[in-house]
Amino acid sequence: MNITFKKVKEGAIAPEYKTSDAAGADLCVAETTVVEPGKATILPLGIAVEIPENHFGMLSLRSSTPIKKGLFIPNGVGIIDADYRGELGLIVAPLGQEPITIEKGERIAQLVILPCRYQFNQSGAEFIQNYTEVAELSDTVRGAGGFGSTGS
């Protein structure tokens, strides 16, 4: 699958897979940005992408970023719809109480393209997943066991 992109800021860096088995293409910050404590900040990535129909983009931090930079994504991941054509930006916030400077060109994020759970028919989109309210859910061994219930 070929993903087309456009540089929307001068000096933007092309997405790049660093290994042959990498799940996501690394993305770089398009301009030096300071992330202030207690404040969510959008890191401009300087590119727009054309995600294929029936797919979406999942934008996340590189796995080493929280340790190396002390950043996290307040909403977990960024979701990019196939019809979005604007500049990609990653919302981040600092884990600590000090400002964090992210330098222009620094690899900060990764983009994974995934298939959507819907299909098109002659009358438009038909969702494969539908939600139906019921009085009770089926039982499982895990049941309602939540965070950490399956071990470390």
- Phi, psi (rounded to 5 degrees) for 109: -130, 170
Tens-place pLDDT, residues 129-152: 666 788 987 888 767 766 555 554
One DSSP character per residue, 41-56 reads EEEE--EEEEPPTTEE
Tens-place pLDDT, residues 86-120: 999 999 999 999 999 999 999 999 999 998 866 55
User: Does 17 fall in a domain?
Assistant: yes
User: Does 143 fall in a domain?
Assistant: no
- Contact yes or no for 76/28 (Cβ under 8 A): no
Query: What dihedral do alpha carbons 138, 142, 147, 149 form, nearest 10°?
Result: 170
CA angle 15, 17, 21 (to 5 degrees): 155
- Contact yes or no for 92/45 (Cβ under 8 A): no
User: Does 30 fall in a domain?
Assistant: yes
Q: Is the pTM of this model over 0.75?
A: yes
The residue assigned the tokens 């088995």 is 21
User: Does 137 fall in a domain?
Assistant: no
User: Does 94 fall in a domain?
Assistant: yes
User: Does 122 fall in a domain?
Assistant: no
User: Does 140 fall in a domain?
Assistant: no
In the chain, the number of structural domains is 1
Q: If DSSP codes are grouped into helix, strand and coil, which group holds residue 67?
A: helix
User: Does 46 fall in a domain?
Assistant: yes
Q: Which amino acid is it at 146?
A: G
Tens-place pLDDT, residues 3-39: 999 999 999 999 999 988 889 999 999 999 999 999 9
Give the CATH number, domain containing residue 85.
2.70.40.10
What's the gap between Cα 45 and its chain centre?
12
> Which residues fall within 8 angstroms of residue 50, CB to CB, at 6 or more apart?
3, 4, 5, 85
**In which domain, by residue range, is 61 found?**
4-116
Give the residue from 31, 22, 24 showing the smallest Cα distance to 3.
Answer: 24
